Amino acid sequence: MEQYKSEFIEFMVDCQVLKFGDFVTKSGRKTPFFINTGFYRTGSQLRRLGQYYARAISEKYGTDFDVLFGPAYKGIPLSVTTAAAISELYGNDVGYCSNRKEVKDHGDKGILLGSPIKDGDKVVIIEDVTTAGTSIQETLPIIKAQGDVNVIGMVVSVDRMERGQGVRSALCEIRENYGIETTAIVTMADVVEHLYNKPYKGHVILDDTIKAAIDAYYEQYGAQF
């Protein structure tokens, strides 16, 4: 595993973004692990997060694209900090863009904020975590409505590696249904590999009990890649 992936897993733990226990996802699944990017709350945390996203994007798609689109609401700060990181790390000045939940009818009008999207633009979508893959159904029409746009990819922080609407993973379904390449900074397999029965800052975060709960969860919801 690349060093930046290991660092990112520990970064999530330090920020209390990655937790283990009993949770319920937005899709209604009971899960022994939870990723909540709302716990990135400081400037230094957001700066590092943007750098991790930028690294994952660069490795998968390069940086020769025009706009980084972050769906409201959590995608807004993700698009801003990652666009800044791409400029800082790679010298490419890509635009950031997000949608509004409600159309604004005065001042800076319309459904979008940030960089406009126009014909011929190459766009990368950035999200926090995709569990069932439902958000792309709302996001893609908004982007496509702006013109003849090429959505070249989608990046999330963690691939939960579970079924989307069918038996395939949510990210795999997005590739198959929409023709969009997908990637993640890390997968849950990476998380388990790095943390299972390995002390971090003096204690084991992912022990045998949690590992058994994760295995049982994947027995029920694991994707067939």
The token pair at 7 is 């660092």
Q: Name the phi and psi angles at 69, rounded to 5.
A: -105, 120
DSSP assignment string, 125-169: EE-SEESSS-THHHHHHHHHTTSS-EEEEEEEEEE--BB-SSSSB
Out of 26, 104, 118, 144, the active site residue is 104
The C-alpha atoms of residue 60 and residue 13 are separated, in whole angstroms, by: 25
**Which amino acid belongs to residue 174?**
I
Active site includes 106?
A: yes
Active site includes 203?
A: no
Closest listed residue to residue 50, CA positions, set 72, 68, 73, 71: 68
Out of 26, 60, 101, 106, the active site residue is 106
- Residues serving a catalytic function are 104, 106
